[in-house]
A and B are shown apart, each in its own frame.
Chain A
Amino acid sequence: MPEAERLERILTAESLAAVDALGPMELVVGVHVSGQARYVGQVLDAVRAGLARHFSGLRTALLVADAGSQDGTRDATSAGMEAAAPDPPVRYLEYAGPRHRGRAIFAILAVARHLGVRAVGLLDCALTGLRPEWIRELLHPVLDAGVDYVSPAYTLAAWEGTLTTNLLAPVTRALYGKRIRQLVGGCAGLSGGLIDRLLGSDAWRSEWVAHGVEVWLPTEALAGGVAVAEAHLGRKGLDPGVQPDVATTLVRTVGPLFALMEIHREAWLDVRGSQPVSGVGDPGAPAVEAEGREPGVERMVRAFKLGLKDLLPVWEQIMPETTLSQLYPLGLLAPDEFRFPLPTWARVVSDFAVTHHERRLPREHLLRALTPLYLGRVAAFLLEARPRSPARIPEILENIGRAFEAEKPRLAARWR
């Protein structure tokens, strides 16, 4: 941790005193909250129950850091803290600097290291479906099996997490050679050793860390070659509050993913193929389950066609003619027969990554210009998944991963 970021400079004096009063800890769970005043009480209750039920013999604490809420989260947290039993203790972290998720997680990790913990659990308060067992699944592998990073793996409907299934996970798989299912999962378990590595990184100074910190954590673990495992947690419940639009979501997730390709260049350029990561929790939990509320694809196909018609001057700066010529025929397909071949999709993402690397375009423009293409790919994915049983959808996901692995040598050659 840089000298300027010693704990006394991160926390207010009052918060630091409250943290110091805890004494050495073996395990902490840090909850970062961003506008979930309604849910913070139930999330804290679930974490407390998890710690009490599964880690009663250890010295544990619960940390809460606000990531920029404007809905009375501070008061709701205080109320939850007062109503709760004194054990495990809860501390609300008042930190200096800008209020965003990156800074909140930084404060949690800095406090965890200060307390000398062996493991830390990170939880997004938006995970309203959090169950006490999740705490065990996320932290037991760290404490008992020498795992450094535990990533969540959820059971999803085909239409859920489409950016993860069609871009984030397959790109990560192709780059770092690990078949991780969820890159931004809202929770994770980290070892004390990994915390040291993370806090020593310059990435905290990056502009994308404010929203992209959850992409960075697993990527840093994968690129660093530390032991990574996946915890099968079942269904994920998420606060349906205000979600950013698709373009902003791409900027906040794909942007950091591409930026990290620069930082971890040496770690991924020569990697070929991929390996599964070890799993904990319920191994029988399905990756995909049936969910009857599938959204229509017409709007997505319309977005793709509009992009193909109007955004071509921008796409021409990003993709070579060989890629564009594969996209033109897709604009002629009817919505119900729309297809977006996987090799083409992998090539498109690869071209965007290279353009991001070469800075041929303002990066925000570049990432936002991906939106119609991504929506087109989601439409094709949903149409392909529609007639299949949930048990057969992982085949599609596997094919997506293979397509990106097949594209990898070309990407690496162009990157060099």
Chain B
Amino acid sequence: MREAWIDILVTSFRDVANRLAFVAPRVLAASTLLLAGLVVAALARRLAVRLLRTVDFDGRCARWGLTVILSRHGIRRTPSETLGGFVFWTLFAVALLMGVEALDMPAAARLAALAIRFLPNLLVAVLVLVIGWLLAHFLAEATLIAVVNAQVSGAPLIAALVRWLTLAAAAGVALTQLDIAREMVLLIFGIAFGGAVLALALAFGLGARELARDALEGWFRRREGEEPDRTSHV
């Protein structure tokens, strides 16, 4: 009885010790990888921000109108800090995956390999979304100003349509890049785009009768030779 009890104790202790001997180095390796990833990511962020500031990235973004778009959407950091943050989180995510892989858990088997294979597509998709988002706001603002200057009413509606169509196109490209339900995305985008055009036609003809009338009247006035603006400005 006593021997059996001792045997069980020794076996349990040995099993736990064996398991600990198996897991501890992996946990240590995972922690080391996470810590190293954190340090490398922080250094890379600092380097990226410094590099971007050297090439006057913030000034260029201000000139291109990106800074104002970022601040309009609640992003108070400078563009170089924002991009630096992106570099940090990308590298830290890679370190996290390596840490998970180092743990050698059955549930996370080949997770890192899969994620790293997926990462380039994810980065491209994020880039497409960011560019699409910036382009959407730039085009919407340009449209708003141009339509108002052409003295056509309904400029905010037209500008909003331009913004959402551009965003939808960017989202479609991003999802296709990620290979997520490619056929479905194409189908949805086709239906949404066609629907938007139809809605625009209906809105223009029915909902926005006044706008349609104004635009057509203006066009006919010009065709019929209504006196143009003769003011010589300069």
Contact = CB atoms under 8 A, between A and B. Distances in A.
Interface in A293-342: 293, 295, 299, 302-303, 306-307, 310-311, 313-314, 317
Given A317-B68, A368-B146, A299 B151 contact: yes
Instruction: Give the interface SS of chain A, mostly helix, strand, loop or mixed.
Output: helix
B148 interface: yes
A247 B233 contact: no
Interface in B132-146: 138, 141-142, 144-146
Given A299-B229, A359-B62, A361-B68, A184 B234 contact: yes
Contacts of A358: 62
Contacts of B62: 358-360
Given A246-B149, A365-B65, A310 B156 contact: yes
- Among B65, B141, B147, B234, which residue has the most Cβ atoms of chain A within 10 A? B234
A372 B234 contact: no
Interface in A252-307: 253, 293, 295, 299, 302-303, 306-307
Contacts, number: 90
Given A246-B229, A362-B65, A362-B138, A314 B234 contact: no
* Chain B interface bracket (under 10, 10 to 19, 20 to 34, 35 or more): 20 to 34
A360 B151 contact: no
A243 B155 CA distance: 25
B230 A311 contact: no
B231 interface: yes
B233 A162 contact: yes
A249 B230 CA distance: 14
Interface string A219-262: 00000000000000000001000010111010001000000000
Contacts of B156: 310, 313
Contacts of A191: none
Contact of A372 (B148, B153, B227): B148
A29 interface: no
Interface in A335-368: 358-363, 365, 368
Interface of B: 59, 62-65, 67-68, 138, 141-142, 144-149, 151, 153, 155-156, 227, 229-234
Nearest 9 pairs between A and B by C-beta? A362-B65, A163-B233, A359-B62, A310-B155, A160-B232, A371-B149, A368-B145, A184-B234, A247-B149
Interface of A: 159-164, 168, 184, 238, 243, 245-247, 249, 253, 293, 295, 299, 302-303, 306-307, 310-311, 313-314, 317, 358-363, 365, 368-369, 371-372, 378
